[in-house]
């Protein structure tokens, strides 16, 4: 097996569980709550219980609940946005089971916002009507996570463990049976599990600018790759069109719902521009809005565009988007009278560990769900607010499937030996990390071309040559190794797909080519 650390399972402290879940966002918690009906569940996260992309999700959950909506309409919007490469059956599952799962969330205590005593629905890009449910205005993910964490803590069969970094999966001969994990207090441990679920989220931190949680470093995808799992659609990374652009500030997300409620995009000269690129204007799919903004930035020689909400009712904005209004004001932007400077930023990983409709990978005993997985429901471009829905629906499906189809567990003794050297002590981890993040934004951002992709490969291969084969002993170092692995996979897939489709735009191949590329690029580590 391939692993990042030297170990022998017979010499390490051991933990046993029926199901190990790595990641504590909406997908991991949903899977754990369902799996706990059938056995013991251990859910671990490398940071605090509340640190995940779910916590920062603003917009809401797309779901068929409003009058005039239907499964057919939601499905059609999802397929259209996905640019021809969605998994149709999984889209059907997402949409139809989504209604039941959102209703279940409400039964568990999630309080979605209401208007006149009924659930309030918002509209976002790519949707033909209002179908987005939201909570506390622009804090939907936070509210969902609150309820799921409380339910998980109250479930006897579930153990939650924070500040525990998963170094690698335990796998041999196509079978996964747990993981090697590390905690500051206990050091390295072995977790033996009949079933292991990756719910580690996305990869946004490999880009210099991202909306993602600081823990979104692609760990699950990298360790799955090392274990022999197939990864699919790694070239498809969605950039969110509107994040607050203030020099020196982190890229705070300005929810798509702001445009859904009437926000207008203007270029440097104050001109509204999105209708030049799509008949839906500001409510076009995200890939089109991001590229439209990028074109305007180039033509006006600017680094941001404006989001104008000054014509909207300010009292409504304060109630609907309290956190956004507050954050803007903290930087001296009173949205009542001033336009908001925004720019596209790395947001969502569409690709990931390939799974079937039950979260199964090609490695026995290994499952994945949420942003770490690739179910094919997003195609080449995710429809707004389908991400929390996917984590919820396929997290629950994975947990239920494991409960009804338990693996027979047999303890195995395995070991791994890394290169012994001292050079790793001289490697400046933050410097390599920052260089990688800048390279990814420059060469594998909204637009790509062969020259930039080959330059990226050269740099990534060079860094990998002295980082990936060394043994480190800290989470920051393991994260860098994972980031390099994922970056390499993204580069390979982006170089292979010689067309433009959805969020993957090649300036040297600017057209969609269904004759050749209406298919998925799959990557798998075959060497021992």
Task: Give 116-148 pLDDT, tens digit per residue.
Answer: 889 999 988 889 999 999 998 888 999 999 999
pLDDT score at 11: 84
Question: Are 46 and 86 in the same domain?
Answer: yes
pLDDT score at 97: 97
Which DSSP letter does residue 23 get? -
Better-predicted residue by pLDDT, 483 or 174 = 483
Average pLDDT value for residue range 66-83:
95
With 80 as the cut, is the pLDDT of residue 320 above it?
yes
User: How does 282-313 read in b/e, with b if 16+ C-beta sit within 10 Å?
Assistant: bbbbbbbbbbbbbebbeeeebebbbbbbeebe
Quickly count helices (H) and strands (E) in the chain.
15, 24
pLDDT score at 421: 64
Q: Is residue 5 part of a domain?
A: no
Question: Are 246 and 374 in the same domain?
Answer: no
Q: Which helix (H) or strand (E) holds 268?
A: none
Residue 105 sits in a domain whose CATH number is: 3.50.50.60
Question: Are 230 and 246 in the same domain?
Answer: no
Question: Are 29 and 128 in the same domain?
Answer: yes
pLDDT score at 512: 96
Catalytic-labelled residue, pool 286, 433, 492, 501:
286
Residue 449 sits in a domain whose CATH number is: 1.20.58.100
Question: Are 141 and 64 in the same domain?
Answer: yes
Question: Are 182 and 75 in the same domain?
Answer: yes
Task: Give 18-49 pLDDT, tens digit per residue.
Answer: 999 999 999 999 999 999 999 999 999 999 89
Q: Is residue 60 part of a domain?
A: yes
Q: Is residue 326 part of a domain?
A: yes
pLDDT score at 527: 53
With 70 as the cut, is the pLDDT of residue 377 above it?
yes
Q: Is residue 102 part of a domain?
A: yes
Question: Are 128 and 201 in the same domain?
Answer: yes
Average pLDDT value for residue range 392-420:
83
Q: Is residue 489 part of a domain?
A: yes
Question: Are 381 and 424 in the same domain?
Answer: no
Average pLDDT value for residue range 208-224:
94
Q: Please say which residue of 346, 373, 390 terminates a domain.
A: 346
Q: Is the separation of the CB atoms in 525 and 222 below 8 Å?
A: no
Beta bridge partners of 172: 175
CA gap 115, 140 in Å, rounded: 16
Tell me, yes or no, if 448 is annotated catalytic: no
pLDDT band at 528 (very low <50, low <70, confident <90, very high): very low
Q: Please say which residue of 346, 369, 391 terminates a domain.
A: 346
Beta strand 114-115 with 61-62 is unpaired
CA 511 to chain centre: 26
118: left (phi over 0), alpha (psi -120 to 50) or beta: beta
Q: Is residue 1 part of a domain?
A: no
Question: Are 385 and 459 in the same domain?
Answer: no
3-state secondary structure 453-515: HHHHHHHHHHHHHHHCCECCCCHHHHHHHHHHHHHHHHHHHHHHCCCCECCEEECCECCCCHH
Q: Is residue 37 part of a domain?
A: yes
pLDDT score at 469: 86
Question: Are 157 and 31 in the same domain?
Answer: yes
CA gap 402, 322 in Å, rounded: 40
Domains identified in the chain, total number: 3
Average pLDDT value for residue range 164-183:
93
| Total length of the chain | 528
Q: Is the separation of the CB atoms in 175 and 182 below 8 Å?
A: no
| Angle, CA 510 vertex, CA 517 and CA 355 arms, to 5° | 35
With 50 as the cut, is the pLDDT of residue 498 above it?
yes
**Two tokens, residue 491:** 């580069």
Q: Is residue 4 part of a domain?
A: no
**Two tokens, residue 51:** 């640190």
Express as a percent the part of the chain with pLDDT over 90.
80
CA gap 246, 140 in Å, rounded: 24
pLDDT band at 505 (very low <50, low <70, confident <90, very high): very high
CA gap 381, 393 in Å, rounded: 19
CA gap 338, 323 in Å, rounded: 17
Residue 280 sits in a domain whose CATH number is: 3.90.700.10
Average pLDDT value for residue range 488-505:
97
Question: Are 291 and 164 in the same domain?
Answer: no
Question: Are 332 and 364 in the same domain?
Answer: no
Neighbours of 506 (CB within 10 A): 21
Boundaries of domain holding 474: 419-519
Neighbours of 515 (CB within 10 A): 7
Task: Give 241-298 pLDDT, tens digit per residue.
Answer: 999 998 777 778 898 889 989 999 999 999 999 999 999 999 998 889 999 999 999 9
């Amino acid at each position: 097996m391939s692993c990042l650390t030297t170990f022998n399972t017979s010499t390490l402290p051991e933990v046993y569980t029926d199901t190990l879940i790595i990641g504590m966002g909406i997908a991991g918690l949903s899977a754990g709550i369902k799996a706990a009906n059938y056995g013991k569940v251990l859910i671990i996260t490398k940071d605090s219980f509340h640190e995940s992309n779910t916590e920062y999700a603003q917009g809401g959950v797309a779901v068929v609940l409003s009058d005039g909506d239907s499964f057919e309409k939601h499905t059609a919007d999802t397929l259209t946005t996905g640019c021809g490469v969605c998994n149709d059956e999984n889209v059907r599952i997402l949409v139809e089971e989504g209604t039941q799962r959102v209703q279940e969330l409400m039964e568990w205590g999630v309080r979605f916002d209401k208007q006149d005593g009924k659930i309030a629905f918002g509209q976002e890009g790519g949707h033909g009507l209002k179908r987005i449910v939201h909570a506390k205005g622009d804090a939907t993910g936070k509210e969902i996570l609150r309820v799921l964490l409380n339910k998980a803590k109250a479930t006897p069969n579930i153990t939650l463990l924070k500040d525990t970094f998963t170094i690698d999966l335990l796998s041999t001969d196509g079978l996964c049976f747990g993981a090697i994990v590390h905690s500051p207090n206990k050091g390295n441990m072995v977790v033996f599990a009949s079933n292991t679920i990756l719910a580690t989220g996305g990869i946004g931190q490999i880009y210099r600018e991202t909306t993602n949680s600081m823990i979104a470093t692609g760990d699950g995808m990298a360790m799955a790759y090392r274990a022999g799992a197939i990864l699919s659609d790694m070239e498809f990374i969605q950039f969110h069109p509107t994040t607050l652009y203030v020099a020196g500030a982190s890229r705070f997300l300005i929810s798509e719902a702001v445009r859904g409620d009437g926000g207008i995009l203007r270029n440097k000269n104050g001109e509204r521009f999105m209708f030049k690129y799509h008949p839906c204007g500001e409510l076009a799919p995200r890939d089109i809005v991001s590229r439209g903004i990028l074109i305007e930035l180039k033509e006006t020689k600017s680094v941001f565009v404006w989001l104008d909400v000054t014509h909207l009712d300010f009292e409504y904005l304060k109630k609907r988007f309290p956190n956004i209004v507050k954050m803007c004001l903290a930087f001296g932007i009173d949205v009542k009278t001033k336009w908001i400077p925004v720019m596209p930023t790395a947001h969502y990983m569409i690709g990931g560990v390939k799974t079937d409709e039950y979260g199964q990978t090609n490695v026995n005993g290994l499952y994945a769900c949420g942003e770490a997985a690739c179910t094919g429901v997003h195609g080449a471009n995710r429809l707004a607010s389908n991400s929390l829905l996917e984590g919820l629906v396929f997290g629950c499906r994975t947990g239920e499937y494991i409960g009804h189809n338990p693996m027979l567990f047999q303890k195995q003794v395995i070991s791994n030996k890394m290169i012994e050297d001292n050079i790793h002590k001289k490697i400046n981890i933050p410097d390599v990390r920052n260089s990688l993040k800048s390279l990814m934004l420059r060469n594998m951002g909204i637009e790509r071309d062969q020259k930039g992709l080959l330059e990226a490969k050269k740099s990534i291969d060079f860094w990998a040559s002295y980082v990936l084969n060394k043994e480190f002993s800290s989470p920051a170092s393991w994260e860098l190794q994972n980031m390099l692995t994922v970056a390499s996979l993204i580069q390979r897939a982006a170089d292979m797909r010689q067309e433009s489709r959805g969020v993957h735009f090649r300036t040297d191949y600017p057209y969609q080519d269904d004759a050749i590329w209406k298919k998925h690029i799959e990557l798998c580590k075959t060497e021992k």
